[in-house]
Structure formats: C-alpha cells, structure tokens
C-alpha cells in the first residue's frame, strides 16, 4: 500500500513537473522570443509557412507540365532561373570571375553575400538560396504585420502576382527583412537603428535608396512617433531634433555608396552600374511618354509572341497600381510613403520600357499596409483583390518555375 502510494506520488509529481522540465530544454532567449510573438505575429508566420507548402506543390506541378518529353524536369531546376542563377554565380565566383558577364554588376552584393554565408551551413546552393529567402521572409512578414497592425497585410503580400520571387533565390525577401524593420525603427524614433538597417537594405537592392530618401523625409517632417500612426496627438519635435534625425538616417547612404565605390575601384567608372544596365538589359534614360509609348506598343501592337506581350501588360498594370498608390499617399499627406513609392515610379518610368514593375511592387510595403486600412472601411476590396491577384500569383509562379517567365 505504501509503495503504491509512493509510486502514485512520483507519477503525480512528474505529471506536474513535466511541462516545466520540457520548457527548460529550450534556451532562455528562444523562449523569450516565442513568448514575445503576438497572435498576429504567429498568424503571419503561419501564412509564410503555407506559402512554402504551396511553393513545393507548384514546383512539383511545374516539373511535369509544359513538357513535350516523357521525362519530368529536375525538381531543383525549378528554382534556378534568371536572376537566381546570376546571384548564385556572384556568390560562388564574385563579380570579376572569368566567364561571368560584366553586366552582373547590376545586382547588388547583399543577397550574394548572404547566400555565400548560408552555403557554409547548407552545402547545396539551391537549398542555401531557399534558406536565405525563407529565414528573411520570417522577419519580413512579422515586421509587416506589426507595421500594419494586421495579419491581412501579409496575406495581401503573399498573394501579390509576383509573390513567387519572395520564396525563391531572389533578393526581395531579404530586402523586406531589412527595410520594414528600418521603417518601424524610424517610426519609433530609433534613428541609428533605422540608419543601420536601411544601409544594409541599400546593399541588397537599389530600392534601398528610395527607402533612405523616404526615411529622410520622415525625419525632416517629424512624421514619426504617435503622429505617424495618428493614434494620439502629434508630438512636437524641435527643428534641431529633426535635423539631427535627418543627418543620422542619411548615414544609411553609406550602404549603396560602398557598392558604387567598389565598382569604381574595379572598373574605373562611377557609372559602372548604369553601364551594366545598358549593356545587359538595353535600359537607357527615356522620357515617361516614350517609356509608356514603347511599353504599350510591346504589350498591344503584337511585335512579340503573345506570352511576351502579356508580360508587358503586367508591367503596365503594376505601374498603374504604383502610380495610384503614390497619388493616394500624396493626397493623404503621407509624404514618406509618397516619396518611397514615387521614386520607384520615377525611376522605372524613365527607362527604355517598363521592366520589373511587378517585383518592385512587392517591396513597396506601404501599399500593403494601406490596403489593410482601406479594406477595414470597404471589405469588398479584400475579396476583389484576392479574386484577381491570387489566381495571377499561381499562374506567374507556375510560369517562373517552368522557366517561362523571368519577372
């Protein structure tokens, strides 16, 4: 009897101590991070995981469809198209390796550096690419949910037409993982942190320059703190505080300037990046009217195959969205957002013709934040957006994974 009671006491005590003992196996910093996640944070991560499950399903399908032979395409080959191959080659061999075209200089070094680091852990380049984007995306979607105050912003981002480029070996996810936290830090008045993150973002994509300019406007106009989210009376910052904040965030220009300085050192020209654009992609400075006219001609006058024409139609649609967003932010006097989107519109709209507009729209995260605010007032916009955008996202993902669309 006594032995049975003792055994029961041990079982009972073990039952109560089990969770504590299991929790103790996790490092303290991991438990702290997990408990710091809000329901929206967890929902954002769940959406991100679901997107990767969809990616695997689409990659499997793309390996079999569009095939005239009896064999399916290599599964890992689905992720090795266009920019992913360029970035991997830079990570492997650098910019000046024999056999690598000089126009590879158009790609900023942030993603190749991260990829080279990931390759030290995963010795397979494809898996390393997917790892960089997957980990970066975790930070990006959680930051986006916090910036918007809603998980719906993540849903809108993941169902954007060009969302496939967030999941594969492209630079968009890594850029967002730095750019959105930089914006959040600036909104909280943490300008040194914002400058550091924005400078790193400027090493990943040229869009970092637009981000730095927008943060400068935020600092100069005092559009941060409570005033930025309009949840309480606007704080009054002195002119001196604004100038110091602006000077601090301008230090972020050291990021993109470092890459341009590197190109100057190895090529002898400060314009090496522009020359790479011209040599590799035939992109030259043009007027907005000429850019629109040439893109419209390529989209609707049938000079190319129907598939290519459709790509140009997507470029026009994405540019229209970016232009409307810029005008909407300006009308609402949200100047940092207007500058960020407006600079993207200005640069893309003055090239030979429109290129990479759907991908650029991905990194214009104020658009996804604004969409959550709009659909709170008009819920039908949510369903209209998903009805149009989600099917396009699936189609474009299939085309990319099958090697028929470069973005």
Q: Do the domain assignments include residue 46? A: yes
Let me know: does 179 contact 363? Beta carbons within 8 Å: yes
In-domain check, residue 102: yes
Distances (CA, A) of 200 to 1, 109, 196: 69, 10, 6
Interval 13-45: pLDDT, tens: 444 444 444 444 556 665 666 677 889 999 999
Its domain, for residue 142, covers 40-283+379-401
Residue 30 inside a domain? The answer is: no
Structure tokens that stand for 269 in this block: 């020209």
Per-residue pLDDT of the chain (407 residues; tens, 9 = 90+): 444 444 444 444 444 444 444 444 556 665 666 677 889 999 999 999 999 999 999 999 988 887 777 777 777 778 888 889 889 999 998 887 766 666 788 999 999 999 999 999 998 999 999 999 999 999 999 999 999 999 999 999 999 999 999 999 999 999 999 999 999 999 999 999 999 999 999 999 999 999 999 999 999 998 787 544 455 555 778 888 899 999 999 999 999 999 999 999 988 889 889 888 888 778 889 999 999 999 999 999 988 888 889 999 999 999 999 999 999 999 999 999 999 999 999 999 999 999 999 999 999 999 999 999 999 899 999 999 999 999 999 999 999 998 887 76
Determine the pLDDT at residue 364.
Answer: 98
Residue 328 lies in a domain: no
- Per the CB < 8 A criterion, the answer to whether 202 and 208 are in contact is yes
With respect to residue 298, please indicate whether it lies within any of the assigned structural domains. no
Decide if 338 is inside a domain: no
What pLDDT does residue 14 have? Answer: 44
In a domain, 238, yes or no: yes
Predicted local distance difference test score (pLDDT) of residue 75: 74
As a whole number of angstroms, the distance between CA 162 and CA 359 comes to 6
pTM for the structure as a whole? 0.89
CA distance 167 to 141: 12
Alpha carbons 284 and 202: distance in angstroms, whole number: 22
Total of domains in the chain: 1
Give the per-residue pLDDT at 66: 77
Q: What is the DSSP letter of 95?
A: S
Does the residue 337 lie in any domain?
Answer: no
Q: What is the pLDDT of residue 145?
A: 97
Phi, psi of 160 (to 5 degrees): -65, 150
């Amino acid at each position: 009897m006594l032995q049975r009671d003792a055994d029961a006491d041990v079982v009972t005590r073990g039952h109560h101590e089990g969770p504590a003992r299991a929790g103790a196996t996790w490092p303290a910093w991991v438990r702290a991070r997990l408990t710091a996640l809000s329901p929206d944070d967890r929902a954002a991560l769940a959406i991100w995981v679901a997107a990767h499950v969809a990616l695997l399903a689409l990659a499997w399908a793309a390996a079999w469809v569009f095939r005239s032979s009896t064999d399916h395409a290599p599964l890992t080959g689905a992720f090795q198209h266009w920019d992913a191959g360029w970035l991997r080659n830079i990570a492997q061999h650098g910019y000046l390796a024999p056999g690598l075209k000089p126009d590879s200089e158009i790609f900023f070094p942030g993603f190749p550096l991260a990829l080279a680091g990931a390759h030290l852990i995963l010795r397979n380049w494809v898996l390393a690419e997917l790892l960089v984007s997957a980990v970066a995306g975790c930070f990006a979607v959680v930051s986006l949910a916090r910036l918007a105050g809603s998980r719906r912003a993540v849903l809108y981002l993941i169902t954007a037409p060009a969302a496939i480029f967030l999941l594969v070996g492209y630079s968009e996810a890594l850029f967002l993982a730095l750019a959105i936290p930089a914006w959040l830090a600036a909104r909280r008045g943490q300008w040194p942190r914002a400058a550091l993150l924005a400078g790193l973002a400027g090493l990943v994509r040229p869009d970092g320059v637009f981000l730095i300019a927008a943060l400068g406007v935020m600092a100069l106009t005092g559009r941060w703190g409570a005033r930025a989210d309009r949840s309480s009376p606007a704080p009054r910052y002195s002119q001196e505080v604004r100038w110091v904040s602006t000077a601090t965030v301008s230090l972020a220009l050291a990021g993109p300037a470092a890459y341009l300085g590197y190109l100057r050192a190895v090529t002898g020209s400060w314009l090496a990046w522009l020359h790479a654009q011209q040599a590799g992609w035939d992109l030259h400075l043009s007027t907005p009217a000429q850019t629109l006219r040439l893109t419209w001609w390529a989209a609707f006058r049938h000079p190319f195959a129907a598939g290519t024409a459709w790509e140009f139609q997507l470029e026009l649609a994405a540019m229209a969205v970016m232009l409307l967003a810029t005008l909407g932010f300006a009308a609402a006097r949200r100047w940092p957002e207007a500058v960020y989107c407006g600079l993207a519109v200005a640069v893309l709209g003055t090239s030979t013709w429109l290129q990479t507009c759907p991908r650029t729209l991905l990194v214009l995260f104020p658009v996804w934040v604004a969409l959550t605010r709009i659909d709170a007032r008009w819920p039908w916009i949510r369903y209209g957006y998903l009805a149009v955008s989600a099917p396009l996202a699936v189609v474009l993902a299939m085309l990319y994974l099958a090697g028929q669309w470069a973005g």
